[in-house]
Structure 1
Amino acid sequence: MSEKVILCVDDEEIVLSSLREQICDHFGDYACEVAESADEAWEVIEELSEDGVEVLVIVSDWLMPGIKGDEFLISVHQKFPKIIKVILTGQAEDDAIKRAKQEANLYSCLRKPWHVEELITTIRSGLADNKLESL
Structure 2
Amino acid sequence: MSESAILCVDDEAIILDSLKEQLKRKFGNRFIYEMAESADEAWDVIEELENDDIEVIVVVSDWLMPGTKGDEFLIQIHQRFPQLIKVMLTGQADSTAIERARQEANLYACLYKPWTEEDLSEIINSALSSK
What TM-score do the two structures reach when normalised by structure 2?
Answer: 0.97
CA distance in 1, matches of 2:2, 2:41: 20
Which residue of the partner structure matches residue 133 of structure 1?
Answer: none
Q: 1:44 and 2:62 equivalent?
A: no
CA distance in 2, matches of 1:21, 1:71: 26
Which residue of the partner structure matches residue 21 of structure 1?
Answer: 21
CA distance in 2, matches of 1:78, 1:70: 12
Following superposition, the deviation at residue 46 of structure 1 comes to 1.2
Which residue of the partner structure matches residue 103 of structure 1?
Answer: 104
CA distance in 2, matches of 1:80, 1:51: 17
Q: 1:4 and 2:4 equivalent?
A: yes
CA distance in 1, matches of 2:41, 2:2: 20
Q: Which amino acid aligns with 2:12?
A: E
Following superposition, the deviation at residue 49 of structure 1 comes to 1.2
Q: Which amino acid aligns with 1:51?
A: D
CA distance in 2, matches of 1:45, 1:27: 20
CA distance in 1, matches of 2:102, 2:61: 14
Q: Which amino acid aligns with 2:106?
A: N
What TM-score do the two structures reach when normalised by structure 1?
Answer: 0.94
The one-character-per-residue Cα deviations of 1:44-103 (angstroms, maximum 9, x if unpaired) are 011111221000100000000001000000000000111100001000010111010011
Aligned length: 130
CA distance in 2, matches of 1:50, 1:127: 23
| Structure 2 spans left out of the alignment, 5+ residues | none
Which residue of the partner structure matches residue 118 of structure 2?
Answer: 117
Q: Which amino acid aligns with 1:120?
A: S
CA distance in 2, matches of 1:77, 1:7: 14
CA distance in 2, matches of 1:94, 1:50: 36
Identity %: 64
Following superposition, the deviation at residue 2 of structure 1 comes to 1.9
CA distance in 2, matches of 1:22, 1:49: 24
